[in-house]
Structures are given as structure tokens and as C-alpha cells.
Amino acid sequence: MSDTKKPHFPPVAIEPVLGEPWVALANGQELADWTRENEIEYNQNNRQTEKHLFYRRTFDFLTDNRVRGDYYEFGCHRCRTFRMALTEARRHNLDSMGFHAFDSFEGLPDPTSDTSVEIWKRGALTTSEEDFMGMVRDHGIYVDNVRTIKGYYSESLTKELGAEYLDSGRKAALINIDCDLYESAVPVFDFIDPLLQEGTVLYIDDQFAGYKGNPLKGVSKAFLEWQKRTRWKVVRHLDISWWGRSYIVYLEKEEIDGVL
């Protein structure tokens, strides 16, 4: 049997070793049969590790700063980050937190702008509502606190639904905006605006994805436009690998005085 070290499957994000270069690196022999499937598995493992680290850090921030509210996720494919939120909420004993899953549950709509991701077509990234809730039930955490809101955002995020949420008095603690497309993100920012509070964390999942990092396109463009029309201010919080970034919401002093 060869003594050559075999790569991890799934590969770990970073494995420290003693000696140069101080981290474990696969060599040419180990990557000789590396395939596209291996690449996808490797990327996904690293990406989800980064996201989980963000949720661990952010729920610590929320609880330590007494930012009380619900979790909102816009774009819930495969229930990955949604389950991360459920787990970290349970670790912090947030039994009264509500979890709101907004998704078409039919995949992406027809893009109206060009993207650099060829798979972003109508119907891509589909997880049905039934499958999503099946994953939630299998996960077994705060199942009764989960609500799904089905539909494309231009149709589902109605004034009536917004008024229902506003009348409930339940503010947002953490919002994950994972919309991929500009046209999907625009109505999301308008919908969440009345639900914000000081300390709300906004996670913009695709800030640098899909448009070669151009901040004037995609979800990033919708975010910049919203900042020009809202009274809320944001401060940069955490970077989530190369594609995402989070922000903390706050009000300037004169705005605080005006709403007290």
C-alpha cells in the first residue's frame, strides 16, 4: 500500500500541518485523477464551511448585543443556510425566534439581465416547498416556528403581506438575501425595510457573484439603490469568502431622536 497521503472526501477547507508550507496541500499524484465532480465537491465544501462560520459568528453577535427578532431568508435552495440558522438559533436557545422562508420553490424566474453564470436560467436552483419542509422536519429544530411564503417576489411580497408582518410587531434580527438576480432583489429590499431595527444583520449572499464582481449589476446594484432611498444606514460587518458580505443596520442620531 502506498504511503502517499490521500485527499479528504469531502475535502476539508484548510488542514494545518507542522512544517512548510504549514497547511496540507494535495500534490500532483493526489490530483492525477481529479475530475469536474471533484472540483464541485471541493468548492461546495469550502463554500458551505465559510457560510456556517458566518452563522456561528453572527448568532453570537445577535445574542451578545440583545438583537431580538426573527430570521428571514430570501432564496432557500436545498435548505442549506436555513438549517444553519436553525442550528445556531438552537445553540443560543432562541426558542421564540421565527424563521421565514421566501422562495418561488420553482427555481429562478426568467432573467432580464445578462449574467456570467450560464446556469442561471428559468427553473434553475429549484427546491420544491414539499422537499424544503421535508428537510426542515428531518433537521428537527424549531419546525413549528418555520413559515414558507411561496412565489416570485414581484408577486408574493405584497403590501398586504408587508402589513401583516408589520402589524405582528416582530422585527428582523438576521436577513439572508440570496436572490442571484437584480430583478428578484429589488422588491426584497423594499419589503424588509419596515422590519429592520438597529442591529439587524443583512447578509447579501451574491454581492460579488454572477456579474464578475461588478457592483453596478445584480443584487449589489439593488442594494446600492435601496441605500439611496432608505432612512437606514449600514456598516460593513463580515466578509463571507469571495462572494458575500454582511452589514449591520443602524440609524443616525437625528433619525433615532425623530422616531422616539
What is the rounded CA–CA span in Å between residue 17 and residue 73? 37
Q: What is the band of 179 on the pLDDT scale with cuts at 50, 70, 90?
A: confident
Choose among 92, 45, 97, 54: nearest CA to 72. Answer: 97
Please determine, for residue 65, whether its predicted confidence score (pLDDT) is greater than 70. yes
Domain count, the chain: 1
Per-residue pLDDT at 116: 47
Separation of alpha carbons 240 and 205, rounded Å: 8
Q: Identify the top-confidence range among 100-114, 176-190, 191-205.
A: 191-205
Q: Which of 51-55, 215-219, 254-258 has the highest mean pLDDT?
A: 51-55
Q: Is the dihedral of CA 168, 173, 176, 182 positive or negative?
A: positive
User: Residue 38: which pLDDT band, with cuts at 50, 70 and 90?
Assistant: very high
Cα–Cα nearest to 94, from 141, 148, 147 = 141
Output the pLDDT for position 253: 73
For residue 58, pLDDT over 80 is answered with: yes
Domain-embedded: residue 83: yes
Q: Is residue 62 part of a domain?
A: no
Evaluate the CA torsion angle 10, 16, 18, 22 in order and state its sign: positive
Find the domain containing 88 and state its range.
69-259
Determine, yes or no, domain membership for 158.
yes
User: Does a structural domain hold residue 154?
Assistant: yes
How do residues 90-112 score in pLDDT, each as one tens digit?
999 999 999 999 999 986 656 66
The helix (run of H) or strand (run of E) holding residue 236 is: strand 233-240
Cα–Cα distance measured from residue 185 to residue 45, given in angstroms and rounded to the nearest whole number: 26
Q: pLDDT at position 213, please?
A: 85
Does a structural domain hold residue 185? yes
Whole-number Å distance between alpha carbons of 248 and 202: 6
CATH of the domain at 241: 3.40.50.150
pLDDT number for residue 6: 52
Distance CA 100, CA 157 (A): 13
Give the 3-state secondary structure of residue 177: strand
Is the confidence at residue 3, as pLDDT, over 70? no
pLDDT for the residue 147: 98
- Predicted confidence at residue 125, as pLDDT, reads 62
Q: State the cell numbers at 204.
A: 447579501
104 occurs within a structural domain: yes
In a domain, 147, yes or no: yes
Per-residue confidence (pLDDT) for residue 4, from 0 to 100: 47
**What is the distance, to the nearest Å, from the Cα of residue 57 to the centroid of all Cα atoms in its chain?**
14
pLDDT score of 2 more than 60: no
**In sequence order, which residues have a C-beta less than 8 Å from that of residue 232 and are 6 or more positions away?**
193, 196, 249, 250, 251
pTM of the model: 0.87
